[in-house]
Structure formats: C-alpha cells, structure tokens
Amino acid sequence: MKRVRRSKREALTGEHLDAEALYRAHADFVARFLLRLGAHGQDVPDLLQEVFLVAHRRGGFVRDRAKPTTWLAEISFRVFSDRRKKSRRKLEDADTETIAMAPSQASSPSERTEKREALARVQSALDTLTPEKRAVFVLYELEGESCDSIAQGLGIPVGTVYSRLHSARRDFARAHDRIVEETRSTPGTSREVVAGARA
C-alpha cells in the first residue's frame, strides 16, 4: 500500500515514469478501462501485462505527453482491439483468476444486488457502442478525464473527442433505456444481457 502511495506522488512530480512506476500507479485504472472496453475478466491479467510491456518498450511515459492515464488508455485500446481481432477465446478456464468490477460498499445485500445490476446495465449499454466511442465515453464519463487530455492521450483532435462523446452519449442513453425496459419486464435478466452482449 505504502508503495502505491509513494509512486502516486512520483507520478505527480516525476518527469519520466518507467513501466513499473506506471504499473504501481495505474494498473487499477488500466484494468478498469480494459474491462469497460469489454475485455473478459479472465483475459485482463494478460492484457494488463501486455499494456505495460508496450509502455516499457515505448520507453515509459514522458511528462510532455498527455497524462499517464490517457497515454496508457491509448495503449490499452490498441492491445485490446488487437487481441480481439486476432484471437478467439477458447473455453474458459475456471482456474484462471477473474477480474471484475464490483459495486462499492453496500449497506445491505439487496443494495448490493441492486448495485451489481446497475453495473451490469452500464456494461451492457457500453457494449453496444463502437470501440472508439466506448473508449471516449468511459474515459470522460466514468474516469473523469477531460476532453483535452483524452485528445492528447489518444492522439486525436479534440473536436473528434467531442463528436465521439456526443454520439456515444446518445447511443449509450438509448441502449440504457432499452435495457432498463427489458429488465423491468423480465426481472433478473440484466446479467444475461451482459453475458449475451459479450459472447
């Protein structure tokens, strides 16, 4: 824990962050981002390694480039879309560790269930976006990055960020409405919706 905190400070002041420092400060962020892009939980540990190895091969993060987070987001996006293209998942290996998003603290089991369902609805709605829009939407709406920093990190004009965000919001809201409707008529299906969307 201590180590993590220290490297966060380094992250703020340092000029250069090598792969390990990046990992300590941002592995969480990258794993979340990969999951929200649609990576399967069992693939996340490997994808995560891949992302930081690419960061390593690029010589680490240098301060004049965007922010470490959005810089890593760009690498994550590449690694993820590449993996998705190149390979088809084999049957799941039950032994592999699985990473998932879990609700923050809940005071009761029912609240926890409700929160889980909310996460499932959000993920299902995200899954309907194109990968490009999804990346921008996640970074802006869920990670709180600014449009500028997203533009720099992803290497696209800020105008493109705005337009992707705009249409991502529209798509997301539509999908979300639909999912809410569906789960209202048949309660308990939100998880299946997610599973279906990812299959």
Partner 1 sequence: MNSDPPRLLDDPSASPSLRADLARAADARLEGLDLDAGLERLRTATRTGSSGPSGTSLATKLAVGATLAAAAAALWIGSRDPTPAPQVATAPAVSAGPSEAPSEALEPIVGEPLRSVRTSSELDPAEAIGSTPVDGGEVDPTSPASAEPEDASALEDGSEPAHAAGAANRAELADGSEPADSSGSAPDDPAPRARSHGRAPATQPAEPSVDDVLREARMVAQARASLAKDPSRALELTEQAEEEFPQGQLVEERRALAIRALAALGRHEQARRRADEFLARFGRGAHAEAVRRAVAPEAPAGEAPAP
Instruction: From 152, 137, 154, select the one nearest 38 (Cα to Cα).
Output: 137
Residue pair 70/91 in contact (Cβ under 8 Å)? The answer is no
In whole angstroms, the minimum distance from the beta carbon of 63 to partner 1 comes to 10
In whole angstroms, the minimum distance from the beta carbon of 196 to partner 1 comes to 18
Residue whose CB is less far from partner 1, 130 or 192: 130
Residue whose CB is less far from partner 1, 99 or 192: 99
* Contact partners, residue 167, CB within 8 Å, separation at least 6: 133
Residue whose CB is less far from partner 1, 86 or 109: 86
Residue whose CB is less far from partner 1, 59 or 196: 59
In whole angstroms, the minimum distance from the beta carbon of 33 to partner 1 comes to 11
Report the half-sphere exposure of 94 (CA within 13 A, side-chain side). Answer: 0
Residue showing tokens 């690694």? 79
In whole angstroms, the minimum distance from the beta carbon of 182 to partner 1 comes to 13
Residue whose CB is less far from partner 1, 104 or 185: 104
* Contact partners, residue 194, CB within 8 Å, separation at least 6: 120, 123, 124, 127
In whole angstroms, the minimum distance from the beta carbon of 109 to partner 1 comes to 16
Taking the C-alpha atoms of residue 178 and residue 189, their distance in angstroms, rounded to an integer, is: 13
